[in-house]
Structures are given as structure tokens and as C-alpha cells.
Amino acid sequence: MIALLSGGVGGSRLAAGLYDLLGERLVVIVNTADDEVIYGLYVSPDVDTVLYTLSGIGDWERGWGIRGDTFSCNETIGRLGFENWFRIGDMDLAVNLLRTMMLSEGRSLSHVTEELARRMGLKCKVLPMTDHRVVTQVVTPEGPMSFQEYFVKREAKPEVLEIRRVRSPHERPAPGVIESLNSARAILFAPSNPILSVRPILETNGVEEAIRGSRAVNVAISPLVGGRALRGPADRLLRSFGYQSGVIGVAQFYDGLIDGLVIDRADADHEQVIRSKFGIEVLVTETVMTSRGAAKRLASEVLDFAARLGRVRD
């Protein structure tokens, strides 16, 4: 069994590649720190991106939402004079309506996610990191704003001074998360934003401890290509939070947690520095997943890399 810690776009693509190789032997543990209530709906962007991408209905290019979706509802909200910068497609709305409805009936987010995954025909487990609500606020020079206001409305452009997360002291990982980490042969960190997507999963009560205590081979896949994020602010945020720029910052972020790091050919210059400075193995390959086929190829290389590391360690 292989566990993947994932955010949205990049993570969901690698998840799809892994799913094509592993099927039900894959468990995806997904960031929910971006979740927000929008138009009264409980929106869980990373969970949906993973569900849509795995089930093949996702819009691969855009990286969110459902392929071929329309935006009649969203445009009508705008025509009625309400803010509509958070775009939810009409088909996407169905999923968000059903999720919100099931949550309001008292079901947990993990239960609802399992139900949605099943109805989309998925055989692997997709687990939200926790069933507890995590609220993220981003503090910028313009003041504090909600995560989606920062990320979607302001296109992640403002400088980030601080990220405030409100998490319940009673928070626990969702059912299955710790069990998966304990029994996984490999724990993979998806090419997602380390600060915005991976850290909130690691900060879920008990998750980092479970990873450190597991016998799994731990491998991270760098989200940077030539030192820059393909989309989103991963590179800027790593620097803002005191990490070195480029792929070295990624290695720093995962220092002590991983046995190996997968980096893009465009960052090959840093291979030796990472090996010697962090004492981990490095795989240099093509990490940009332009298609599901490319994702499957990368997933295969990552699994081979993890298997080699496992044998080396034994």
C-alpha cells in the first residue's frame, strides 16, 4: 500500500498516475486547509481536484473543476450583483451541493468524500486529512484575508506576511489516515505547495509523528521546475518562510522527513548539493505531467525509486 500526501493540481496529477498503476493499493491523504464556505456551500477544492482528476472527469489543463463544465449559475450570481470571483461550474456545483447537504445531515467530511469517490467509480481511498474544520487566513500588507480570497480572488499575488490557521485542539486525523501511514510501504509527498498544501497535512495532530515513526520509505516530489512553481506561489512562499530559494528550499522543507527527493531535470545542477547536504537520495527526471500518460510514467519512476531506496535501507 502506498500513501500520497496531496494538495490540488500537481498532487492530483501524480495521484492519477499512481492510481493507474496501483488501483486500490493507493491511499491519497488530501489537504483541507483550503476548504471554505462559499455561496453557503462547503467547498473542498483539493479534495475535489483529486476526485475529479482520478475519476477522469477533471479538467487536466485548468487544474480544477470538471472538463466541459459551464458557469451559468456563477454568471447569474454575478448578474444579480453578488461577488462571484470564486468560480464553481454547474456540474461542479452538484458535487458541492451534495457534499454540503450530506454534511448538514451530520455526516463527516471523510464519510462524504468516500461516498462521492464511490459514486465516481473510484477504487482507491481518498481521505481528507481531518474531519475537523481548518480555517486558514492569509495576512498580507493589505491586511488579513481568507485563503480563497488570497488564492483565487487575488491570484496569490499579495506578499504573504503570515499564515494563520485556526484548528481545533480536539482535531484528529480522519479515520484511516494514521492507519494508512503506519502500514504504507512508501509515503509520498506530492509535487504540491509545501507551505500551503503539505504543511497543513503534517500539522494535523499525529500525522508527522506517524510519518516519522513509520517503516515506510518516504519520498518527496519537488513542485518546482527550474526553481519556479509551474503555477501558484510555492517558490515565493518557501522563501517568505525562510527556506532557500529553488529546489534546495524544498529539500530543506522536507529535511529529516524523507529518504529521497525527486527533482526536475531543470534543477539537475542541485543534485549533488542535495545529496551531500541533506544525506538523501535524489532522482532527476522529467516531473512536468502534461498528460495522464506523463503522470503514469512519473508515478512509475517514483515507485521504482522508492523501491530501490527500500532495498538500500533494508
Does 41 interact with a copy of itself (rule: CB under 8 A)?
A: yes
Measured from the CB atom, the residue of 52 and 254 that comes closer to a copy of itself is 52
Is there a contact between 220 and 264 (Cβ–Cβ < 8 Å)? no
Measured from the CB atom, the residue of 94 and 268 that comes closer to a copy of itself is 94
Least distance (Å) between residue 115 CB and a copy of itself: 9
C-alpha 188/C-alpha 175 separation (Å) is 19
Does 44 interact with a copy of itself (rule: CB under 8 A)?
A: no
The C-alpha cell at 193 is: 505547495
Q: Amino acid identity, residue 297? A: R
Measured from the CB atom, the residue of 91 and 294 that comes closer to a copy of itself is 91
Point out which span in 19-27, 38-46, 127-135, 184-192 binds a copy of itself (CB under 8 A).
38-46
Residue with cell 507551505: 195
Is there a contact between 298 and 289 (Cβ–Cβ < 8 Å)? yes
Task: Spell out, one character per residue from 70 to 89, where the chain touches a copy of itself: x when CB under 8 A holds, - when not.
Answer: x-xxxxxx--xxx------x
Near a copy of itself by CB under 8 A: residue from 1, 97, 266, 284: 97
- Using DSSP's 3-state secondary structure scheme, residue 261 falls into strand
Measured from the CB atom, the residue of 120 and 145 that comes closer to a copy of itself is 120
Strands 228-229 and 135-140, sheet pairing: unpaired
Measured from the CB atom, the residue of 98 and 266 that comes closer to a copy of itself is 98
The C-alpha cell at 203 is: 500539522
Near a copy of itself by CB under 8 A: residue from 33, 95, 126, 181: 95
C-alpha 171/C-alpha 183 separation (Å) is 22
Of the candidates 48, 313, 32, the residue with the CA atom closest to the CA atom of residue 177: 32
C-alpha 261/C-alpha 272 separation (Å) is 12
C-alpha 300/C-alpha 167 separation (Å) is 36
Measured from the CB atom, the residue of 35 and 69 that comes closer to a copy of itself is 69
Binding site for a copy of itself (CB under 8 A): 39-41, 66, 69-70, 72-77, 80-82, 89-91, 93-95, 97-98, 100-101, 104, 116, 119-120
